[in-house]
Amino acid sequence: MNAFSKELDKIVRSSLKSFHKDWCEMESCGREREAASRYVFANLIKCCRPGSVLHDSAQIGIEVAVRQLDRCAEFPNVGKTVCKDLVIWRDPNAVQLLEGLVFNRTTA
């Protein structure tokens, strides 16, 4: 694992531990989408720091399209994109671009 991945892994683990603590203390809980939203807005965004791999909240995407694996004989119906609950982009304001254009790669 390279230094970038190690730093991001540390950030994600720390923010997930904080989220778990918060979630367990809540009187009620929600579904997956509510959990993902709460995690991002209440825990992950707090980890954004200048000079860090997660330096801008605009690197975080909720319910966004990312490039799917290439089609193959085993999975002929695989589409070009798939929607992910949570994506951390390498650069702020990144999005999955349309067919025929270059795809951005996600960081996580």
Q: How confident is the model at residue 77 (pLDDT cuts 50, 70, 90)?
A: low
- Can you say whether residue 95 is alpha, beta or left, with left for phi > 0 and alpha for psi between -120 and 50 degrees? beta
Question: How many other C-beta atoms can be found within 10 angstroms of the C-beta atom of residue 19?
Answer: 18
| Cα gap 105→52, rounded to integer Å | 18
pLDDT at 42: 96
Q: What is the pTM for the complete model shown?
A: 0.79
Distance of CA 104 to the CA centre of its chain: 13
* CA neighbours closer than 13 Å in the CB half-sphere of residue 77: 0
Looking at residue 41, its amino acid is F
Residue 28 has φ and ψ, to the nearest 5°, of -135, 160
Q: What is the pLDDT of residues 13-72, one digit of tens each?
A: 999 999 999 999 988 778 888 999 999 999 999 999 999 999 999 999 999 888 776 666
DSSP symbol at 66: E
